[in-house]
Structure 1
Amino acid sequence: MGANYTPSQGWFHHWLDFDLDAVRSDLDALVALGLDHVRVFALWPVFQPNRSFIRPRAVEQLGHLVDAAAERGLDVAVDALQGHLSSFDFVPSWLRTWHRRNMFTDPEAVDGAARYLETLAASLAGRPNFLGMTLGNEVNQFAGPPHPDPDPCTYEEAGRWLTRLLDVCERAAPGRLHTHAEYDAVWFQDGHPFTPAQAARLGRATTLHSWVFNGTAQRHGHDGTATVRLAEYLIQVATAWADDPARPVWLQEVGAPAPLVPPEHAAAFATATLDNALTCAELSGITWWCSHDVSRELADFPELEYGLGLLTSDGAVKPAGRAVAETAARLRTGPPRPARRTTALVLDAGDAGTAPHRSVCAPGGAFFEAWVRLAYQGVRAGAVLADRARDAAHLEGRGITEVVWPSDVK
């Protein structure tokens, strides 16, 4: 149980005025909540302002942050290609305007990103509390609409990009939790070049970003079954695409966005969401978004981004922070007891590799709404791809004894 670290002073711009004492204070506050890890974000233009130059001072500061976390018993996962954070894009100048090139397909651009990832991973490889690299935060949003200036690619090109950069991380820091992270277009948007199969089969774990502002809370309300079980649902969808039924799933981002989740209901939402996610045997970790609120001194954020923290920007614990701390305390006393999911809903998104009809998984889609109806009926359903629905060995290996098609759920 951990948090995505949003520094209380300066947000992610803190790399420009790095203050290790302020970082230590923030980390102390997270330890006081009973958390055991943080996910941290290196701003790409700050760390690699030129394609052939990675700033040694920035790499050194990242190491100091990881060491400060180790002193407090915190593990650290590091995101490199930032990329996209809270509605702002941080892309180095050597990819934009006069030097415009596609980050996913231009050979020199990919070489530059690989060099950057290799440098960060190698610098951290000897630190025992370094969990691993995530390539970047929701980098798939650059690959197409609704991004205003996309870097288009095909699903084959996206797959090659992911494979190459994950391999670079593995060579630089062998055996660590190297992953990639996408926003939910990867599961929901027909034609999106990053695919569910890539999310569930490449890297050491599947990462999920569960945000109820994707249409779920709008359709089902802040405390509807679909809303408080969205994270659980996404874990089951991800498991359906995995080749290994035991592949770990990391709930890498989950939060309570106002006003869809009113602030007075944030604690109840957090408790219900986490309790439902913890019924999933595949779940390996939860990282709440985010540690600290964004200071109101910073301008131009979408309103919901200012209040997502477990703590305020001046360090006061919020109701959601207390709820997460209570869940962390329960987990320290004993592991969760996953539900036995003997019923699986059949997920037919077309070809399993490209998922041309994956919008059936989105809020309002046939698969999504059928899974929610089963949930209303008290069924903790799993999910199975249509091409595996009659594979007796696959079903037996997952403990599935009943297969249900969405059209059969009344």
Structure 2
Amino acid sequence: MPPAVRFGVNYTPSEGWFHHWLDFDLDSVRADLDSIAALGVDHVRVFALWPYFQPNRTLIRPRAVEQLIALADAAAERGLDVNVDGLQGHLSSFDFLPAWTRTWHRRNLFTDPAVVDGQAAYLRTLAAALADRPNFIGMTLGNEINQFSAGPHPDPDPATAPQIEAWLTRMLAACEEGAPGRLHLHAEYDATWYQSDQPFTPAQAARLGAVTAVHSWVFNGTAQRYGRTSVPTEHHGAYLVELSKAWAGQPHRPVWLQEVGAPAPLVPAEHAAAFTEATIKAVLDCPDLWGITWWCSHDVSRTLADFPELEYGLGLLGSDRRAKDTAAVLAAAARAAHPAPAPRTTALVVPADPALRGRLAPGGPVFEAFFRLAADGARPTTVLDERAADAEHLRARSITEVVTAGQVLPAPRPGALA
């Protein structure tokens, strides 16, 4: 029997947001975790704000690490496992980088040897602190740290794809040194799959670390272009799960939908539950799914200023810890039995060349062909063009039909843009 799909939430503290590390209140954390556990989920993803934990390159604050352990132990008391993100990094439109990497001390996050040494020491320390906790899942290197590596970030830390691969390998090794045998991974936002000049590549996402993580947000142009109730919008999470499999080194590598949410106003509050239900249903039809972790647990309090408007209402629970309709949908899914989905036997060919990632993005021919197939009930997956004729690879993945975007989409009209 395949392992059961896991359901969890990204933990956003109801009091103080992630600034709660500055005034850590374990009783408040326990109350938050009680409201999360009541949903029937089995894990939380926790964010340790990097500058608060490592304000100097050679100072990893012991008290902050103790607070992280206390949070993990409180989660265990409530039957919740914990995944920890280390290099925050970027959260809800705000950057959190230590002063020893910025302005007068400006050094590249991915290539400067001293910075990389400091990052490795930090990740190793957090992993080691939790290594003996049975409910510790493992480390995620950071939250969408690829956004620092290229535009549209206003002050990127440029690096090449080989440099990023070396950085990812080093950081994952540091996590493994701290907590051997745990599920350590890295996670990027969808520019990895859609943005051709991103040095974080699909191959890195699908081959480095214990599982592949994807983050699905339909404010990336999907909901704007296709509409709230469209197949692309409701199946965007499933698309990223299946898209990642084209690059996987192993035919049944697990994929974790680590972030997905219902962003207003593209998904209005009154329609958020329906979007949540449709998204979960579509993703559960993907084989080799490790889990679904919803963004996020609690709303951002309106007492905090300067967040983008959509960030205030993404919680399954309000900042008063009251459950919303979306929470009921996730809770029902978490408590239900889900049979293993049938293999996806139709594979859409995608280009292996990372310079062609624009074809995979909303509006691109691969994106549109995938959803044309999905709308027709074909349950597609994907395969790299360089593997499309590899009979052994196709057989290992139960693929019996290979199609190209040109075979799925109608020919362009005379004079139309190709």
TM-score bracket, shorter-length normalisation: over 0.9
Q: What's the counterpart of residue 238 of structure 2?
A: 232
Aligned mates of 2:43, 2:363 — CA distance in 1 = 35
1:98 and 2:97 equivalent? no
The alpha-carbon deviation at position 337 of structure 1 amounts to 3.1
The answer for unaligned runs of 5 or more in structure 2 is: 1-6, 410-418
The match for 1:47 among 12, 31, 53 is 53
Q: What's the counterpart of residue 401 of structure 2?
A: 402
The alpha-carbon deviation at position 144 of structure 1 amounts to 1.0
The alpha-carbon deviation at position 339 of structure 1 amounts to 3.2
Aligned mates of 2:177, 2:55 — CA distance in 1 = 24
Conserved? CA contact 1:39–1:79, under 8 Å:
yes
Normalising by structure 1, we get a TM-score of 0.97
Percent of paired sites with the same residue: 67
The match for 1:156 among 162, 170, 174 is 162
Aligned mates of 2:26, 2:388 — CA distance in 1 = 53
- The within-5 A match list for 1:323-338 is 323-330=329-336, 334-338=337-341
Conserved? CA contact 1:121–1:169, under 8 Å:
yes
Q: 2:187 is paired with a residue of what secondary structure?
A: coil
Aligned mates of 2:118, 2:190 — CA distance in 1 = 27
Conserved? CA contact 1:279–1:336, under 8 Å:
no
Q: Residues 207-262 of structure 1: CA distance to partner in whole angstroms, max 9, x if unpaired?
A: 01000011110111111011110011101110111010111101000000000011
Aligned mates of 2:197, 2:32 — CA distance in 1 = 41
1:215 and 2:218 equivalent? no
- The within-5 A match list for 1:195-344 is 195-330=201-336, 334-344=337-347
Aligned mates of 2:310, 2:74 — CA distance in 1 = 30
The match for 1:345 among 340, 344, 348 is 348
Q: What's the counterpart of residue 392 of structure 1?
A: 391
Aligned mates of 2:39, 2:151 — CA distance in 1 = 38
1:189 and 2:195 equivalent? yes
Aligned mates of 1:291, 1:302 — CA distance in 2 = 17
Q: 1:285 is paired with a residue of what secondary structure?
A: strand
Q: Which moved more, 1:54-63 or 1:337-346?
A: 337-346
Q: What's the counterpart of residue 129 of structure 2?
A: 123
- The within-5 A match list for 1:106-145 is 106-145=112-151
Q: What's the counterpart of residue 3 of structure 2?
A: none
The alpha-carbon deviation at position 93 of structure 1 amounts to 0.4
Q: What's the counterpart of residue 34 of structure 1?
A: 40
Conserved? CA contact 2:352–2:386, under 8 Å:
no
Conserved? CA contact 1:9–1:22, under 8 Å:
yes
Q: Residues 28-70 of structure 1: CA distance to partner in whole angstroms, max 9, x if unpaired?
A: 1011111110000001000000000000000000000000000
Q: 2:185 is paired with a residue of what secondary structure?
A: coil
Q: 1:345 is paired with a residue of what secondary structure?
A: strand
Q: 2:84 is paired with a residue of what secondary structure?
A: strand
Conserved? CA contact 2:188–2:214, under 8 Å:
yes
Conserved? CA contact 1:349–1:360, under 8 Å:
no
- The amino acid across from 2:298 in the alignment is H
Structure 1 stretches of 4+ moved >2 Å: 334-337
Conserved? CA contact 2:150–2:197, under 8 Å:
no
The alpha-carbon deviation at position 349 of structure 1 amounts to 4.1
Conserved? CA contact 1:258–1:307, under 8 Å:
yes
- The amino acid across from 1:398 in the alignment is R
Number of residue-to-residue matches in the alignment: 403
Normalising by structure 2, we get a TM-score of 0.96
- The within-5 A match list for 1:15-30 is 15-30=21-36
RMSD of Structure 2 on Structure 1 (CA) = 0.7
Aligned mates of 1:336, 1:252 — CA distance in 2 = 21
Q: What's the counterpart of residue 65 of structure 1?
A: 71
The alpha-carbon deviation at position 160 of structure 1 amounts to 0.4
Conserved? CA contact 1:339–1:380, under 8 Å:
no
- The amino acid across from 1:343 in the alignment is T
Q: 2:133 is paired with a residue of what secondary structure?
A: coil
Q: 1:240 is paired with a residue of what secondary structure?
A: coil
1:89 and 2:92 equivalent? no
